[in-house]
């Protein structure tokens, strides 16, 4: 047994050394080569991208791929452990099985997922130091942050790159706190499929309203990528069960922010050589984004996420794919949803489905209730990338102005771009 444990330790250390060597090769050999190749603008994946952005994307994609092949994902916590430390304020959120009813309760039973305690982290604006779970000041707004990562990776921890979103919003608004929920991720061989994350999101929302004391209208529900998918599912659950006498749910949040929302999990089966691959963003924009939602690996991930609901739910379930274009879905209603800000990048693989979502929400809610901003040269979820400028700062300022029209933004000033190479 000891020999087996030692072998496992040695194997892990060997993989870490391999990744470290590859990192050195990337910075000292691959990066100069990429820069040289991309110096002529005609060789760049996007004609408007700077040389800096081209190289940064290549470094990010290559580093993530090397780590994944070595079996070393992002070194961030998950729902099984609360990781605190200097400047990190966390707590365990109690489960709320008494709030789960209807379809979601049935899905949970079918998937054999229950309600469990989960970690969460309070993130604060620079210079702010409040007690964990301190009651809100009169009229105080809070961000309820649901992180992205395809339901399979990344974290709510303040050290995770997705925490750059609430941190950035606070920088450009009077908001002092965000509440980041460490919902359960789906893992092999099918652990924590849908609706595990939704059960957790409901518990987190109950904590904010019932335990901390935030009025629902003072909660800004924000999610990026899969976190935006989860935010929409949480809202739909609150609205569809508002009049259910079997449960007393909090009211809907006051505002909704969706950053590069993943809103169509339909199976992809466009054959190679098809002309559709030239027009569908999921294929066409693979070289101008740092993620992919096509291919066998991603199909397996989606299969795990959907669990007993099956792959058909990826195109026919309103909680999962509200932007699906499959006739199996039928009409999806957004009536009653709060004022919404949708942010997207024109160079991302998900842009087609995000445009569908924006159109459907505007049709149901009205143009004045849905602010849609598309940065034409931006990648997926670019608010998590500090180097993705000037779009990142510009978008954060737009979000801040949308939330607080009369607030004087004293945060980071407009980014001064490098010389255009």
The enclosing domain of 109 has a CATH number of 3.40.50.1820
Alpha helices (H) in 2-118, listed in sequence order: 2-25, 31-38, 51-69, 102-111
Residue 413: the pLDDT is 59
* 354 and 244 in a common domain: yes
Question: Does 296 have pLDDT greater than 90?
Answer: no
Is residue 148 one of the residues assigned to a domain? yes
Same domain, residue pair 98 and 29: no
How many domains, in total, are found in the chain? 2
* Whether residue 47 is found in the same domain as residue 109: no
pLDDT at 269: 75
Examine the pLDDT at 321 and tell me if it is beyond 50: yes
Say if 188 falls within a structural domain: yes
Quick: pLDDT tens for 64-104. 999 888 887 777 899 999 999 999 999 999 999 999 999 99
- Average the pLDDT over 394-400 and give the result: 98
Mean pLDDT for the chain? Answer: 94
Considering the domain boundaries, does residue 298 fall inside one? no
Any domain includes 214: yes
Q: Is 334 buried (19+), middle (13-18) or exposed (0-12) by CB count in 10 A? A: buried
- Residues of the chain with pLDDT > 90: what percent? 86
Residue 285 included in any domain: no
Beta carbons of 258 and 339 less than 8 angstroms apart: no
Residue 162 has pLDDT above 70, yes or no: yes
**What confidence category does residue 388 fall into, taking pLDDT thresholds of 50, 70 and 90?**
very high
Q: Which own/partner pairs from 103-112 qualify as long-range (CB within 8 Å, at least 24 positions apart)?
A: 103/319, 104/195, 104/198, 104/199, 104/237, 104/319, 107/194, 107/195, 107/308, 107/309, 108/195, 108/196, 108/199, 110/308, 110/309, 111/193, 111/194, 111/195, 111/196, 111/307, 111/308, 111/309
Mean pLDDT confidence for 17-22: 94
pLDDT for position 6: 54
Q: Among 69, 100, 119, identify where a domain stops.
A: 69
Query: Domain check: are 139 and 52 in the same one?
Result: no
> Are both 159 and 237 inside the same structural domain?
yes
Do 27 and 144 lie in a common domain? no
**Are 64 and 94 members of one domain?**
no
**pLDDT in the model for residue 3:** 57
User: Which domain covers residue 381, as residue numbers?
Assistant: 89-266+317-403
Tell me: cis bond preceding 390? Omega within 30 of 0 counts.
Answer: yes
Determine the pLDDT at residue 416: 42
Residues 332 and 190 in one domain: yes
Residue 310 has pLDDT above 60, yes or no: yes
pLDDT at 408: 86
The DSSP 8-state label assigned to residue 83 in this structure reads: -
* 110-114, 292-296, 345-349: range with lowest mean pLDDT: 292-296
Residue 281, domain member (yes or no): no
Q: What are phi and psi of 419, to 5 degrees?
A: -60, 140
Residues 306-327, mean pLDDT to the nearest whole number: 97
> For residue 355, is pLDDT > 50?
yes
Task: Indicate whether 296 belongs to any domain.
Answer: no
Do residues 176 and 109 share a domain?
Answer: yes
Are 264 and 318 spatial neighbours (Cβ–Cβ below 8 Å)? no
Domain co-membership, 37 together with 168:
no
Which residue would you say has higher pLDDT here, 418 or 336?
336
- When pLDDT is averaged across residues 242-248 and rounded to a whole number, the result is 95
Mean pLDDT for the stretch of residues 256-273 = 92
Burial of 319 (0-12, 13-18, 19+ CB in 10 A): buried
Chain segment 195-241, per-residue pLDDT in tens: 999 999 999 999 999 999 999 999 999 999 999 999 999 999 999 99
Report if residue 358 sits inside a domain. yes
Given a cut of 60, whether residue 1 has pLDDT beyond it is no
Q: Give the pLDDT band (50/70/90) at residue 4.
A: low
Question: Do 23 and 122 lie in a common domain?
Answer: no
65 plus 104 within the same structural domain? no
Distances (CA, A) of 133 to 6, 90, 204, 234: 42, 9, 12, 21
Mean of pLDDT values over 384-396: 98
Q: What pLDDT sits at residue 412? A: 61
């Amino acid at each position: 047994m000891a020999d087996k444990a030692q072998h496992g330790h040695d194997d892990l250390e060997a993989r870490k050394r391999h990744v470290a060597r590859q990192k050195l090769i990337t910075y000292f050999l691959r990066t100069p080569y990429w820069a040289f190749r991309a110096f002529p603008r005609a060789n760049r994946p996007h004609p408007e991208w700077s040389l800096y952005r081209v190289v940064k994307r290549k470094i990010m994609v290559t580093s993530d791929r090397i780590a994944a092949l070595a079996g070393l994902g992002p070194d961030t916590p998950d729902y099984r452990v609360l990781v605190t430390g200097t400047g990190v304020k966390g707590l365990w959120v109690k489960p709320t099985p008494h709030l789960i009813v209807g379809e979601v309760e049935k899905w949970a039973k079918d998937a054999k997922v229950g309600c469990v305690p989960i970690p969460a982290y309070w993130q604060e604006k620079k210079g702010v130091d409040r007690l964990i779970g301190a009651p809100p000041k009169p009229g105080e707004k809070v961000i309820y942050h649901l992180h992205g990562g395809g339901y399979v990776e990344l974290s709510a921890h303040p050290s995770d790159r997705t925490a750059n979103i609430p941190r950035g919003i606070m920088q450009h608004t009077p908001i002092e706190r965000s509440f980041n929920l460490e919902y359960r991720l789906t893992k092999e061989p099918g652990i924590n499929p849908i609706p595990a994350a939704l059960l957790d999101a409901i518990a987190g929302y109950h904590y904010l309203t019932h335990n901390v004391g935030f009025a629902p209208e003072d909660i800004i529900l924000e999610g990026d990528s899969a976190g935006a998918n989860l935010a929409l599912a949480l809202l739909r659950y609150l609205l569809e069960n508002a009049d259910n006498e079997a449960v007393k749910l909090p009211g809907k949040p006051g505002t909704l922010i969706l950053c590069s929302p993943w809103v169509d999990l339909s199976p992809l089966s466009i054959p190679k050589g098809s002309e559709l691959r030239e027009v569908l963003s999921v294929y066409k924009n693979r070289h101008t984004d740092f993620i992919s939602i096509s291919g066998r690996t991603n199909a397996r991930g989606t299969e795990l996420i959907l669990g007993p609901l099956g792959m058909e739910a990826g195109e026919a379930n309103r909680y999962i794919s509200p932007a699906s274009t499959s006739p199996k879905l039928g009409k999806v209603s957004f009536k009653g949803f709060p004022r919404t800000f949708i942010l997207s990048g024109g160079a991302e693989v998900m842009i087609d489905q995000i445009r569908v979502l924006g159109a459907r929400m505007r049709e149901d809610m009205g143009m004045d209730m849905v602010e849609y901003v598309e940065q034409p040269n931006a990648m997926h979820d670019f608010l998590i990338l500090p180097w993705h400028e000037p779009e990142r700062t510009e978008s954060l300022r737009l979000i801040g102005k949308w939330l607080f029209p009369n607030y004087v933004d004293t945060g980071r000033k407009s980014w001064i771009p490098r010389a255009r190479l």
